[in-house]
């Protein structure tokens, strides 16, 4: 479990699997619905799910379009999530892996594997906050990777495309999320496993907040996120609260020049 400053738990299978169960919880269902509402996926579109985790948003896009979306590609630094995508493909009867695909890649280094204008739209759920960069010269964490990631997202979207994503509010109250999650956790058939995952999410949440205090992760005010999106090349930026008021959902558009 997270104990030491500088440790990165995101690529680990244990951390990845701890968050798989959150999709059954009412706060996350609220966030997913708000994200999907603003994403408004349509048939034939190409979507990138950035920091996809177990693929809840990817699957929601597929099901929203009744399987008529062009492609959905999940990207995450935890290779364990590949198994979740394989399971989704089987359950949604998608026999073309390239249409519901997973790429293991750490977006803190950018989106180098992806060509310009590869996707119509990009979506992300509570992930871009964790783009991290440590400046060896100053011995400090910076927002360099966060700002670079926004610019990279703008690069891989076609003109007129949308970036719909969620980020936690400053100083998120994980206890509030956990409390409102209990009904969903206790309603499922595997209560003990769900409670264990909830406990692990709380533990990882403590690590995330500690690292955010030293500048490694970025729980930013909405106006700061808006400013950074504009600097990265986006326009028509809007946001609203979700996730029991513990997250902002943003929608931004890449201008048509």
**Model pLDDT for residues 2-29, shown as the tens digit of each residue:** 334 468 766 776 666 666 566 777 888 9
Q: Which pLDDT value is given to residue 21?
A: 62
How big is the chain by its Cα radius of gyration, in Å? Answer: 17
Neighbours of 103 (CB within 10 A): 17
- Residue 1 inside a domain? The answer is no
* Polymer length of the chain: 257
Cα–Cα distances (Å) from 210 to 123, 148, 217, in that order, read: 26, 23, 9
- 3 in a structural domain: no
Q: How high is the pLDDT of residue 205?
A: 73
7, part of any domain: no
Q: Where does 60-211 show beta strands of DSSP type E?
A: 71-76, 100-104, 121-125, 133-135, 140-142, 162-168
pTM greater than 0.85? yes
Q: What pLDDT sits at residue 1?
A: 35
Number of domains in the chain: 1
Q: Domain of 181: which CATH number? A: 3.40.50.150
Which pLDDT score is estimated for 2? 39
For residue 4, tell me if it sits in a domain: no
Separation of alpha carbons 142 and 148, rounded Å: 11
* Residues of the chain falling short of pLDDT 50: 1-5
Q: Is residue 52 a part of any domain in this protein?
A: yes
Predicted pLDDT of residue 170: 94
Asked if residue 182 is part of any domain, the answer here is: yes
């Amino acid at each position: 479990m997270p104990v030491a400053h500088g440790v990165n738990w995101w690529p680990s299978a244990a951390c990845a699997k701890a968050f798989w169960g959150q999709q059954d919880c009412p706060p996350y269902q609220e966030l997913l619905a708000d994200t999907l509402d603003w994403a408004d996926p349509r048939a034939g579109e190409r979507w990138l799910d950035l920091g996809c985790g177990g693929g809840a948003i990817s699957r929601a896009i597929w099901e929203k379009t009744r399987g008529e979306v062009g492609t959905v590609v999940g990207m995450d630094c935890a290779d364990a999530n590949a198994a979740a995508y394989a399971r989704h493909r089987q359950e949604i009867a998608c026999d073309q892996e390239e249409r519901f695909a997973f790429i293991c890649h750490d977006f803190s280094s950018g989106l180098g594997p992806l060509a310009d204008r590869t996707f119509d739209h990009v979506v992300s759920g509570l992930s871009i906050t964790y783009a991290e960069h440590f400046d060896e010269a100053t011995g400090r964490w910076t927002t360099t990777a966060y700002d670079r990631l926004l610019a990279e997202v703008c690069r891989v979207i076609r003109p007129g495309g949308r970036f719909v994503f969620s980020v936690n509010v400053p100083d998120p109250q994980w206890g509030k999320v956990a409390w409102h999650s209990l009904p969903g956790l206790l309603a499922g058939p595997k209560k003990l496993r769900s409670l264990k995952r909830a406990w692990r999410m709380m533990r990882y949440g403590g690590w995330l907040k500690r690292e955010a205090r030293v500048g490694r992760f970025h729980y930013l005010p909405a106006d700061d996120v808006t400013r950074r999106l504009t600097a990265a090349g986006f326009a028509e930026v809007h946001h609203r609260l979700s996730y029991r008021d513990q997250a902002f959902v943003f929608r931004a558009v890449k201008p048509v020049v």
